[in-house]
Amino acid sequence: MERISWDQYFMAQSHLLALRSTCTRLMVGATIVRDKRIIAGGYNGSVSGGVHCMDEGCYVIDGHCVRTVHAEANALLQCAKFGVPTDNADIYVTHFPCLQCTKQLIQSGIRTVFYAEDYHNHEYAVQLLKEAGVKTVKVKLDYLAVDTNYQQKTSLINNLLGKLESITEDDEEVHAMKKIAERLL
C-alpha cells in the first residue's frame, strides 16, 4: 500500500475541520503547517459563545455573512492566541481564500496557500498573492473520500427510498437498488 502524500494528508485534515463548521452557506476548513507539522487549524463559524448560523440562520449584509469568522482567520488567531509563529508556514484550505483572508495570510508570513476548490477567486486577491511572492497550489483531495455533503445526501436517499416504496414491491430491479441504498446509509 502506498502512503498518502503530505499534500493529500494536510488537505484531508482541512476537510475534516470543515465538518465542524457552523455555516450553512459553505463549510470551510484550514490547516496551518510548518516543517510538515500541523501548528493550527480552523473552520468557519461564529465568535466563541455566539449565536451560530446553523441555529438562527446567517446574518447577511451585502451578500456576506458577518456573523462568521473565516477558517483561515480562526487558524491564524489560534496561532496568535498561543504564541505560535506563522512566518514561513503553509496553509491548506478547502476553498480559495477570500480577499480579506488573503491579506491576513500575506501579513502573517504564510509562504504557500494550498487549496482544494476555487471559490469566487477575487482578482485582487490573486494579484496580491503574486505580488507578495506567496505561492498558490491547487490540491484536489483524491486520496480519501471526505464528504461534506453527507447529511444532504442521506436525506435525499431517504426521500428516494420512500418514493421507491410507493412505486412497487414486485419490481426486482427496484428492490435490488433499495437494498444497495440502505447498505450505503
> CB neighbours (10 Å) of residue 175?
12
Closest CA to 5 of 142, 145, 147: 142
The CA distance from 176 to 185, in Å, is 15
The catalytic position among 56, 72, 131, 169 is: 72
Instruction: Please give the DSSP secondary-structure letter assigned to residue 51.
Output: -
3-state secondary structure of 171: coil
Residue 5: CB partners within 8 Å, gap ≥ 6? Answer: 143
72 in catalytic set:
yes
The CA distance from 12 to 14, in Å, is 5
Q: Which residues are part of the catalytic machinery? A: 72
